[in-house]
């Protein structure tokens, strides 16, 4: 059993074994109410979050009801589209996985926009298109098999808004959205996932920089803040600013109420 102590013994204790079982039961209950015979559709990236969500779904639903979708977008002609870490995870879990290279589609969208507006797309445009294209694929495939799309976001990412609106922050169910990166890693170890995948440096695959390098803050620092254990004013200020700046990503669409 893996136990995690934040700070002193008087602080929060995280029982990974217990939480793992609660997550599995939560997924079972959710599918009983929202798709008793539906498969879980999971965008497999090769990173820890999607790996852990996939493993939890296998435990809850059985490997026959878990479908992985790999959606690379940076493959060059003649190169394999198969990510070694994706292959390793799929083999480890024994699930089906389908691969679709979205590089051409993303390039076409950018090209069409550029021709229309006669401008070069900015970095935000370039970075947001792939997650939204991926989600389009996931929901298209889900509609073909009455599947339910998993959201693989975690609390550490969400609290600072490190997600794409209508892209990676979308889904039908979100098993790990209330867990920090530190906690998720412990769940991954309890699930006996390959260490390389669980400890993989978070990287969105859109730039050469890691997530932490782009954020200018570490996930350990964010995790402490999430659990009210941050004593650094600079870190607190930075996280609060990021949280405020990206709050719109998690709000329902404002609507005029006719009465």
| DSSP letter for each residue of 208-230 | SS-HHHHHTS-HHHHHHHHTT--
- Please state, in angstroms and rounded to a whole number, the distance separating the CA atoms of residues 113 and 110: 5
3-state secondary structure of 102: coil
Could you say which DSSP state residue 173 is in?
A: B
Domain residue ranges in the chain:
3-250
CATH of 3-250, one of 1.20.120.420, 3.40.50.620, 1.10.540.10, 3.40.47.10: 3.40.50.620
User: From start to end of the chain, where are the E strands?
Assistant: 3-5, 13-15, 40-43, 66-70, 96-99, 148-149
CA angle 23, 28, 34 (to 5 degrees): 120
Residue 6: its pLDDT value, please?
47
- Please state, in angstroms and rounded to a whole number, the distance separating the CA atoms of residues 102 and 130: 7
Backbone phi and psi for residue 137, each to the nearest 5 degrees, phi listed first: -60, -45
Residue 96: its pLDDT value, please?
96
Residue 242: its pLDDT value, please?
96
Residue 207: its pLDDT value, please?
65
Burial class (CB in 10 A: 0-12, 13-18, 19+), 122: exposed
Residue 210: its pLDDT value, please?
86
The closest alpha carbon to 45, from 180, 136, 151, belongs to 151
Q: Do the beta carbons of residue 103 and residue 75 sit within 8 Å?
A: yes
For residue 205 the two structure tokens come to 């695959």
Q: How many CB atoms lie within 10 A of CB 174?
A: 17
Q: What is the mean pLDDT of each run of 10 residues along the chain (259 residues)?
A: 43 85 98 98 96 98 98 64 89 96 93 78 88 97 98 97 94 98 97 95 72 91 95 95 95 90
Spacing of C-alpha 89 from chain mean position: 15
Q: Do the beta carbons of residue 102 and residue 130 sit within 8 Å?
A: yes
pTM: 0.90
The closest alpha carbon to 135, from 208, 45, 53, belongs to 45
Residue 118: its pLDDT value, please?
65
Residue 86: its pLDDT value, please?
95
For residue 34 the two structure tokens come to 């929202």
Residue 135: its pLDDT value, please?
97
Q: What is the pairing mode between strands 40-43 and 66-70?
A: parallel
Helix, strand and coil content of the chain, in percent to the nearest 5, comes to 50, 10, 40
Neighbouring residues of 167: CB distance < 8 A, sequence distance ≥ 6: 128, 130, 131, 132, 134, 135
């Amino acid at each position: 059993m893996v136990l995690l102590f934040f700070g002193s013994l008087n602080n929060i204790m995280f029982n990974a074994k217990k939480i793992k079982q609660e997550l599995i039961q939560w997924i079972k209950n959710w599918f009983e109410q929202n798709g008793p015979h539906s498969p879980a559709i999971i965008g497999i990236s090769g990173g820890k979050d999607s790996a852990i969500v996939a493993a939890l779904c296998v435990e809850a639903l059985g490997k026959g009801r878990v479908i992985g979708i790999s959606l690379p977008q940076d493959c060059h002609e003649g190169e394999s589209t198969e990510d070694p870490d994706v292959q390793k995870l799929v083999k480890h879990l024994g699930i089906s996985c389908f691969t679709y290279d979205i590089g051409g589609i993303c390039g076409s969208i950018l090209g069409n926009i550029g021709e229309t507006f006669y401008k070069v797309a900015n970095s935000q445009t370039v970075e947001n298109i792939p997650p939204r294209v991926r989600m389009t694929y996931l929901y298209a495939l889900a509609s073909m098999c009455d599947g339910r799309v998993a959201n693989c976001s975690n609390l550490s990412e969400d609290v600072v808004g490190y997600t794409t609106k209508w892209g990676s922050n979308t889904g039908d169910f979100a098993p790990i959205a209330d867990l920090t990166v530190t906690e998720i890693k412990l769940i991954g170890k309890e699930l006996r996932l390959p260490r390389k995948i669980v400890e993989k440096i978070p990287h969105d695959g859109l730039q050469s920089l890691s997530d932490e390098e782009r954020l200018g803050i570490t996930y350990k620092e964010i995790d402490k803040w999430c659990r009210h254990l941050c004593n650094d004013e600079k870190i607190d200020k930075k996280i609060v600013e990021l949280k405020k700046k990206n709050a719109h990503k998690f709000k329902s669409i404002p609507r005029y109420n006719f009465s």
